[in-house]
Amino acid sequence: MNIKLAYDRDGLDVTLPLNGEHLEIVEPKFVPGLEDSPAALRQALKTPVAGPPLRDAVGPDDTVGIIFSDITRPCPNHLILPAILDTLDNVPNERITLFNALGTHRPNTPDELRGMLGDDPRGGGKIADVYRIGNNNAFDRSTQVLIGTSARGNEIRVNRAFMECDFKLLTGFIEPHFFAGFSGGGKAIMPGMAAEDTILSNHGADNIDNLNSTFGVTTGNPIWEEIHEAAAMANPSYLINVALNADKEITGVFAGNWMEAYLAGTEFVKEHAMVAVDDAFDIVITSNSGYPLDLNLYQAVKGMEAAAKIIRPGGTILIVASCWDGIPDHGLFGKLLMESESPAAVLEQIRTPGWSAQDQWSVHVQVLIQERAEIQVYSDNLSDEQIRGCHLTPCRDIEANVRAMLEKYGSDARICVLPEGPQTIPYVP
């Protein structure tokens, strides 16, 4: 049986030694892309879900701060930002700052920004060359300001320059998130524009261990709830979020009052991305949704967690991820794993009271999965040594590895394929 998995830019064609008898392919309910996305974006800003049209909401002398997603996200900034800038044609360029919501991720290069942000609708060339861009630096306390303390005692520090803007506009795209419920919404502010210690507390061990910290759950999810508590402290003026299909086409636009528009978007996404299956599986083959999300192993934990929602104890997850950015070299994800003797050892360290480190959250999710399943990794850009160093099993021949799994679990083994990875969130009711 031939199946195409999302992998890098072009996908990966895989031949599986199966006749389909015990195989289930789970994909998001396909929603066609909007016929004219630029027009739909502009119309949403004129007729929002709640609140006034964008142009009416901005005062004539306001300074405007617009948050956009970094390169790790497939957010169509190149469509969203031109729609906003065109709508705000009454605001001069010098009163607009674009903020890159890096969280603790690496800064994006000038060339990446030119490609990500698209063309200036006012005729000035590339947006990245025309407008002032502020990159969030989570590690420099001097660039942050304390805006409050959350109900659980987390000091909320966010980017000072953004907070000084009169009009604060959030952008992003909405999909189920492996521990924050959904992406989009207040995540633009926290973790996007937050300080490292604020992020570390929100993504801490107690919160990750909470069973409600998972895909599609908001009520009772301590991470989602604190993110939006923090976002409310920042007092966003407006939001525009989009939903995407497997082809990265815009399927829905949600604009206006930041929380009302966002919640409308999460309901739309939940309806199409969450897919029920009858029972758990012995083998789950998944992707990490292809480019750009499968850029490194740190991000690939999202695909692992999507598969983990339906894996039987003792089962095997095989994930394909390009990892053109490596483990990566930046951040502490690889270091935390490689300096530990085993997944159990790193989990013990993460759960030590008072201990915290950048990227511990993705390490935490990975090792929790490994308590109940083996994880195999297929990647053209990681060596066997790198994969084993992260306590994972290398895969160089998918067909051969699946044959070995069938020998292990028997000819009646239940197998699931998630071609689009975490764009589909399967669950057992």
The DSSP result for 192-248, as a single string, is: TTB-HHHHHHHT-HHHHHSTTSSTT--TT-HHHHHHHHHHHHH---EEEEEEE-TTS
* Dihedral of the alpha carbons of 382, 383, 385, 386, in degrees to the nearest 10: -10
Tell me how far CA of residue 319 lies from CA of 290, 297, 316, in angstroms: 11, 10, 10
Give, for 360, the enclosing helix (H) or strand (E): helix 360-370
Annotated catalytic residue 364: no
Identify the residue whose tokens are 């090792």: 367
DSSP lists the bridge partners of residue 50 as 256
Catalytically annotated residue among 105, 203, 228, 391: 105
Annotated catalytic residue 391: no
Burial 339-349 (b: 16+ CB within 10 A, else e): ebeebeebbeb
The DSSP result for 133-169, as a single string, is: EEE--TT-GGGEEEEEE-TTS-EEEEEHHHHT-SEEE
Catalytically annotated residue among 177, 203, 228, 364: 177
Question: Which residues belong to the active site?
Answer: 105, 177
